[in-house]
Amino acid sequence: MKLKVTTHEEQAQYDRKHWRSRTPEERLDEVERLRLEAGKFLYEYPTRLRRVIKITRKA
């Protein structure tokens, strides 16, 4: 295992190069994976986005 020390700018360049080399499908898959992973910690694991509707009546 190697450890490489870089600047924030160098890391940002690497990240851009990495994601540009991926297909749109791979990028979307990663977004979905991250959404599900975050949901486990933030929202007690919702597998889907919640739908919310509010009905009001005029008086």
The answer to whether the CB of 22 falls within 8 A of the CB of 28 is no
Which helix (H) or strand (E) covers residue 20, if one does? helix 8-20
How confident is the model over 5-59, as pLDDT tens digits?
999 999 999 999 999 999 999 999 999 998 888 877 776 655 566 677 788 888 7
The ranges assigned to domains in the chain are 1-59
Phi, psi of 56, deg, nearest 5: -125, 155
As a whole number of Å, the end-to-end CA separation of the chain is 69
Give me the pLDDT at residue 30, please.
94
Distance (Å, whole) CA 18 – CA 21: 5
44 φψ region: left (φ > 0), alpha (ψ -120 to 50), beta (else): left
> Does the global pTM surpass 0.95?
no
